[in-house]
A and B are shown apart, each in its own frame.
Chain A
Amino acid sequence: MPFAVVLILLVVGSILFHLFSPWTFTPLASNWGRVDFTVDVTLYVTAIIFIGVNLFVAIAIIKFRHREGHESKARYSPENKRLETFLTVLTAVGVAAMLTPGLLVWSEFVDVPEEAHVVEAVGQQWTWNYRYPGADGKLGEVDAERVSEGNPFGIDPDDPRGADDIVVMSPEAHLPVGAPVKFLLRSKDVLHDFAVAQFRVKMDLVPGMDTYMWLTPTENGRYEILCEELCGIAHHTMRGAVVVEDAADFETWLSNQPTFAETQSAPAGDAMVGAGQYAVCSACHGAQGEGQQAMNAPKLAGLDRWYVERQLRAYKQGLRGTHEDDTFGKQMAPMAAMLADDTAIANVAAHISRLPDTAAPATVEGNADNGRRLAAVCAYCHGADGMGNYATNAPRYAGMSDWYLARQLANFRDGVRGAHPQDYYGMQMGFMGRILKDDQAINDLVAYINTLDTESTADMTARNGE
């Protein structure tokens, strides 16, 4: 008897949970309302079976349970062909009712409208980039073997279709509202999955082949992209966004993105000019970029150009140095604002890359053995030697100012840095920073970093300086 009551309560409880659950589909922002319809049909059919069969069991237990003193015998009834046939047919009808909308909607999904415009989403460990066809409406040939720091998409420079391709070196894509879009999906390394909950559709990215999906965004807004196919240790940090906006805003945004040809012909930063601009920086960071703890200015010498440029842009655009608790970041932001444009930033970065690199003095004390265990996670992106890797958007930390590393780790952990929604790389460090239990863990980690051999830094300087 208690079992029957529990079964009934479970059925009723499940229905109530369903009806009152605040956790349900996010508001739809694409044309795929028919996906939701198919879900609803399935939900109703399965709910009837769930309720019906379980209540039948509950009644059977109530009516036919063994009771002390009531010696009754079960009925001997091996088969009932009519009943079995009836139930089989009924089930087949229910299955057909669910399958029909499923197949119809799928046939729409696999059939991309001809007028759909194309956006290529490129996945890699652990970020997103995009490519839009330029004026010719065609994307250039790409090849994993051509991928390099200067050509992150691996576009064939000899393919005339590729020169006008618009490349977006950011995890954020823009789409015009109301226009069907075909996403061409491509991965450089492992499986990924392009998923936006509000669009309802998703598809894997598979290295070695192009996959696709299509949708029509129907609501303006900013929608998060989540990678939904396990792609390694930082899978959960592989985030991006789709900004859906009016066509005119979209065109403006698109026209501000560089073409592939422009990225190839962009002048490298002029270190001589940058040296002049660096004079301002040197007041705090030191003439040789060696850093001054008293001024809260970290060592710069030895940093990769791409990282210096990205951080200067982040300060300039307000992605960094705007959190109220980021005392020293707020000091840096107006300094970065003095650099007029990307050319000025490139010039300063070029100069910094030529500064002589000597390991910063160790100031933080901690348990390096414990730190080594913690650093195993860091090494996935930053390298076992801590020298950084442009491909994973990970800067060097070996031989850099340890007190600064400790402060930044705390900032990442506490959301003081990396909390801006467009600071995607900072957000990734926020995820990782939160692994660190307390300040002692940070000190241990930094103490281990201080033990890293930085002799290879000479190579780094040579590479940057060429």
Chain B
Amino acid sequence: MAYVAIADRDHEIEHHDPQTFITKYVWSQDHKVIAVQYGLTAIFVGVIALILSAMMRLQLGFPEDVHFVNPENYYQFITMHGMIMVIYLLTALFLGGFGNYLIPLMCGSRDMVFPYMNMLSYWVYLLSVLILLASFFVPGGSTGAGWTLYPPQAIMPGTPGVEWGIVLMLISLAVFIVAFTMGGLNYITTVLQARCRGMTLMRMPLSVWGIFTATVLGLLAFPALLVSAIMMLLDKTLMTSFFMPAVSSMGADPGYTGGSPILFQHLFWFFGHPEVYIVALPAFGIVSDLLSTHARKNIFGYRMMVWAIIAIGGLSFIVWAHHMYVSGMHPYFGFFFATTTLIIAVPTAIKVYNWVLTLWQGHIHLRTPMLFAIGFIFTFIHGGLTGLFLGNVTIDLPLSDTYFVVAHFHMVMGVSPILVVFGAIYHWFPKITGKMYNETLGKWHFWMTFLGTYAIYLPMHYLGFQGVPRRYFAMGNTDFLPASAQDLNAAITVSALFVAATQILFFVNVIWSLKSGKPAGSNPWKATSLEWQTPDTPPKHGNWGHDLPVCYRWAYDYSVPGYPDDFIPQNVPPDKAPAGREHGGDH
């Protein structure tokens, strides 16, 4: 059996423990430290992106009173906000952060297979972040091309940051992809080669399945972004014409000829749509484990869940042009992409059904991670259902490029994954730090974030129905919009500022709990998966002490009949506890 190769040779492999502060916390090769480094960096840039969104919302809500935002920096803010949130926060946090932390612990490995490359991955990621942030300070500022960076506008006069900002953005993306590739190869190899004895693929927790599949998607999708970034850099700096047709720009001829702006869109969305699932699949996996653990019940339909993750991952590569129904591409593509897009709703719906069926007949403990998990179900249902509007090619005619789109993708790709991020941080905080977080603060954080974000995004869909376009600095006097549309915009801004301010609770909680939190013990949630069975909490370098764990069962043996405890850890052998039915049989 190939997958136990590394576990079988465990005692032959030398593990050199870090000696100094520098090798322990800075140039660390320990996946847990790298995970925290990834996480902190991602959250740091995420806070910057959050502040940018607050400034945008101030302008949109109160255009007459806000004067520190002008069209130039408004478009810079929306661009940087979008790019940071999607790539530098969510992708980095789910894969670099949670992927790094959870894969070796949940698979029963000592570390990633290539620890040095893992370390390099973080530092290259940090470099990409620094290049990105540097673009705020170059002449002309960062690019204002929108996070989709569509040419020709991204590299032509009329767009902010056309001199330096766009160049740094493209370089930063290329560097990020290098970092992701180093990390991603590591995650895949570790999952495939370094699981402990007995950890078959169909015993892995769904978190690992989600992260693993997302990483495969990333390795297949990011190259499309890499080539488009490089080609656009060449168009910008060497006047090639990959994406640039002959144009007359503000009365001047910039000298391009023969390129195709639509080609860029195809490449971008060939990356961009799988990117949605690069963020969503880890969230799907993690939320499954949160629901199961805190409902004290096995995840319902585990095998179906695994196949749904794989099916969604596969389908995500043949739906990309649903972002382009009104882009001017051949309209006959609409038939194909609308069909594939709506088909992807089926495995996605199965996941939702199985989450809610997991709650049914469970023993639901409404602790903070569980609140976030159930909150996710609500927002994800909402965002998923509005996706059925936009995925259906005809409905894209009125709704494309309106606030309906903004509301949809923020529900499905902003709020939903972020709720999972918070749920996951609260859930694993005791393992990562050894301290318990403050439950009261955590609950307040949840309620204000959950209700606040719904107050932002539910009304926003209706501005879209009305025809309010996205990416407008101001609506001005538009006859078909009633004055109340602006009032609604102001109310949305108030909600957005409220939610943004609320996030302080999270940081207070983390800092307070680090200092004064109660010791958590090794398995406060009485969870079954291996990361809760480590000999030390927080786990030490090498994770498992002298001997690697051996896995005897799936990760969901909760409330097995005939056993006194309501959970049986994966490393408890069958002679000490009944073998759960794993994934067979009806109830």
Q: Interface on A for B, CB 8 Å cutoff?
A: 3, 6-7, 10, 14, 17, 21-26, 32, 34-35, 38-39, 42-43, 45-46, 49-50, 53-54, 56-57, 60-61, 64-66, 72-84, 87-88, 91-92, 95, 98-99, 101-103, 105-107, 109-110, 124-126, 143-145, 147-149, 154, 185, 187-191, 193, 195, 197-198, 200-209, 211, 222-224, 226-237, 239, 374, 376-377, 380, 389-392, 419, 421, 427, 430-432, 434-437, 441
Assembled-state Cα–Cα distance A87/B308 (Å): 14
- Residue B479 interfacial (CB < 8 Å): yes
What per-residue 1/0 map shows which CB atoms of B467-487 lie under 8 Å from chain A?
A: 101111111111110101100
Assembled-state Cα–Cα distance A80/B477 (Å): 57
Q: Contacts A61-B364, A76-B581, A79-B585 given; 7 further ones with Cβ under 8 A?
A: A75-B361, A91-B349, A102-B393, A109-B331, A227-B469, A228-B402, A434-B64
Assembled-state Cα–Cα distance A191/B561 (Å): 63
Query: Are A377 and B70 closer than 8 Å at their CB atoms?
Result: yes
- Known interface pairs A24-B466, A77-B298. Does A197 touch B251 (Cβ–Cβ under 8 Å)? no
CB proximity of B574 to chain A, nearest CB, Å: 16
Query: Are B394 and A185 closer than 8 Å at their CB atoms?
Result: no
Assembled-state Cα–Cα distance A95/B347 (Å): 12
CB proximity of A428 to chain B, nearest CB, Å: 9
What per-residue 1/0 map shows which CB atoms of B352-384 lie under 8 Å from chain A?
A: 111011011111111000010010011001100
Assembled-state Cα–Cα distance A397/B338 (Å): 51
- Residue B262 interfacial (CB < 8 Å): yes
Assembled-state Cα–Cα distance A22/B561 (Å): 54
* Residues on the B chain within 8 Å of A35, using CB: 394-395, 397-398
- Known interface pairs A64-B364, A98-B342, A206-B327. Does A74 touch B356 (Cβ–Cβ under 8 Å)? no
Q: Considering the complex, give the chain A residue whose CB is closest to the CB of B345.
A: A95
Query: Are A206 and B328 closer than 8 Å at their CB atoms?
Result: yes
* Residues on the B chain within 8 Å of A61, using CB: 359, 364, 366, 374
Query: Are B259 and A208 closer than 8 Å at their CB atoms?
Result: yes
Query: Are A144 and B361 closer than 8 Å at their CB atoms?
Result: no
Which 8 pairs from chain A and chain B are nearest by CB?
Answer: A208-B245, A391-B251, A197-B467, A232-B158, A77-B587, A211-B328, A190-B153, A147-B248
Query: Are A74 and B250 closer than 8 Å at their CB atoms?
Result: no
* Residues on the A chain within 8 Å of B469, using CB: 195, 226-228, 236
Query: Are B300 and A75 closer than 8 Å at their CB atoms?
Result: no
Query: Are B326 and A202 closer than 8 Å at their CB atoms?
Result: yes
Query: Are B394 and A209 closer than 8 Å at their CB atoms?
Result: no
Contact of A78 among B473, B480, B482, B584 (CB under 8 A): B584
* Residues on the A chain within 8 Å of B160, using CB: 233
CB proximity of A464 to chain B, nearest CB, Å: 16
- Residue B75 interfacial (CB < 8 Å): yes
CB proximity of A25 to chain B, nearest CB, Å: 5
* Residues on the A chain within 8 Å of B473, using CB: 235-236, 431
Q: Considering the complex, give the chain B residue whose CB is closest to the CB of A86.
A: B353
* Residues on the A chain within 8 Å of B484, using CB: 22-23
Assembled-state Cα–Cα distance A236/B78 (Å): 14
Query: Are A230 and B400 closer than 8 Å at their CB atoms?
Result: no
Query: Are A224 and B302 closer than 8 Å at their CB atoms?
Result: no
Assembled-state Cα–Cα distance A135/B78 (Å): 47
Q: Considering the complex, give the chain A residue whose CB is closest to the CB of B333.
A: A110
Query: Are A434 and B150 closer than 8 Å at their CB atoms?
Result: no
Query: Are A84 and B350 closer than 8 Å at their CB atoms?
Result: yes
- Residue B234 interfacial (CB < 8 Å): no
Query: Are A99 and B342 closer than 8 Å at their CB atoms?
Result: yes
* Residues on the A chain within 8 Å of B300, using CB: 77-80
- Residue B335 interfacial (CB < 8 Å): yes
- Residue B339 interfacial (CB < 8 Å): yes
* Residues on the B chain within 8 Å of A437, using CB: 67
Q: Considering the complex, give the chain B residue whose CB is closest to the CB of A104.
A: B394
- Residue B445 interfacial (CB < 8 Å): no
What per-residue 1/0 map shows which CB atoms of B439-482 lie under 8 Å from chain A?
A: 00000000000010010001100110111011111111111101
- Known interface pairs A60-B360, A81-B586. Does A109 touch B466 (Cβ–Cβ under 8 Å)? no
- Known interface pairs A190-B153, A233-B71. Does A76 touch B394 (Cβ–Cβ under 8 Å)? no
- Residue B519 interfacial (CB < 8 Å): no
* Residues on the A chain within 8 Å of B485, using CB: 23
- Residue B145 interfacial (CB < 8 Å): yes
Query: Are A42 and B389 closer than 8 Å at their CB atoms?
Result: yes
Query: Are B248 and A223 closer than 8 Å at their CB atoms?
Result: no
* Residues on the B chain within 8 Å of A147, using CB: 248, 251
Contact of B247 among A32, A66, A189 (CB under 8 A): A189
* Residues on the A chain within 8 Å of B475, using CB: 236
- Residue B536 interfacial (CB < 8 Å): no
- Residue B433 interfacial (CB < 8 Å): no
Query: Are A144 and B398 closer than 8 Å at their CB atoms?
Result: no
For this complex, 19 residue pairs linking A to B, each with C-beta atoms less than 8 Å apart, are A21-B459, A24-B466, A26-B480, A42-B388, A42-B395, A50-B385, A60-B362, A75-B361, A91-B350, A95-B345, A95-B388, A106-B335, A109-B331, A197-B398, A201-B397, A202-B400, A211-B328, A236-B475, A436-B67
Query: Are A205 and B328 closer than 8 Å at their CB atoms?
Result: yes
Q: Considering the complex, give the chain B residue whose CB is closest to the CB of A11.
A: B378
* Residues on the B chain within 8 Å of A197, using CB: 398, 466-467, 480
Q: Considering the complex, give the chain A residue whose CB is closest to the CB of B243.
A: A208
Query: Are A106 and B393 closer than 8 Å at their CB atoms?
Result: yes
* Residues on the B chain within 8 Å of A226, using CB: 467, 469, 478
- Known interface pairs A208-B246, A431-B476. Does A64 touch B363 (Cβ–Cβ under 8 Å)? yes
Which candidate, B171-179, B280-288, B552-560, is the interface stretch facing chain A?
A: B552-560
Query: Are B388 and A73 closer than 8 Å at their CB atoms?
Result: no
Query: Are A102 and B395 closer than 8 Å at their CB atoms?
Result: yes
* Residues on the A chain within 8 Å of B10, using CB: none
Assembled-state Cα–Cα distance A78/B388 (Å): 30
- Residue B301 interfacial (CB < 8 Å): yes
- Known interface pairs A23-B465, A98-B392. Does A109 touch B345 (Cβ–Cβ under 8 Å)? no
Query: Are B158 and A25 closer than 8 Å at their CB atoms?
Result: no
* Residues on the B chain within 8 Å of A14, using CB: 458
Assembled-state Cα–Cα distance A430/B64 (Å): 12
Assembled-state Cα–Cα distance A435/B473 (Å): 10
- A-contacting residues, B259-287, CB 8 Å: 259-262
CB proximity of A394 to chain B, nearest CB, Å: 9
Kindly name the residue among A21, A34, A222 whose own CB sees the greatest number of chain B CB atoms within 10 A: A21
Q: Considering the complex, give the chain B residue whose CB is closest to the CB of A194.
A: B326
CB proximity of B287 to chain A, nearest CB, Å: 13
Query: Are B262 and A389 closer than 8 Å at their CB atoms?
Result: no
* Residues on the A chain within 8 Å of B561, using CB: 76
Query: Are A91 and B346 closer than 8 Å at their CB atoms?
Result: yes
Query: Are B338 and A74 closer than 8 Å at their CB atoms?
Result: no
Assembled-state Cα–Cα distance A99/B331 (Å): 16
Assembled-state Cα–Cα distance A99/B392 (Å): 6
Q: Considering the complex, give the chain B residue whose CB is closest to the CB of A232.
A: B158
Q: Considering the complex, give the chain B residue whose CB is closest to the CB of A222.
A: B479
Q: Considering the complex, give the chain B residue whose CB is closest to the CB of A9.
A: B451
Assembled-state Cα–Cα distance A54/B226 (Å): 40
Assembled-state Cα–Cα distance A24/B459 (Å): 11
Query: Are B67 and A441 closer than 8 Å at their CB atoms?
Result: yes
- Residue B157 interfacial (CB < 8 Å): yes
Query: Are B478 and A224 closer than 8 Å at their CB atoms?
Result: yes
CB proximity of B249 to chain A, nearest CB, Å: 5
- Residue B488 interfacial (CB < 8 Å): yes
* Residues on the B chain within 8 Å of A6, using CB: 451
CB proximity of B586 to chain A, nearest CB, Å: 5
Query: Are B471 and A380 closer than 8 Å at their CB atoms?
Result: no
What per-residue 1/0 map shows which CB atoms of B390-433 lie under 8 Å from chain A?
A: 00111101101110000000000000000000000000000000
* Residues on the B chain within 8 Å of A84, using CB: 301, 304, 350, 353-354
- Known interface pairs A103-B339, A392-B250. Does A74 touch B466 (Cβ–Cβ under 8 Å)? no
Query: Are A202 and B397 closer than 8 Å at their CB atoms?
Result: yes
Query: Are A190 and B247 closer than 8 Å at their CB atoms?
Result: yes
* Residues on the B chain within 8 Å of A436, using CB: 67
Kindly name the residue among A145, A198, A232 whose own CB sees the greatest number of chain B CB atoms within 10 A: A232
Contact of B466 among A25, A32, A234 (CB under 8 A): A25
* Residues on the A chain within 8 Å of B159, using CB: 232-233
- Residue B152 interfacial (CB < 8 Å): yes
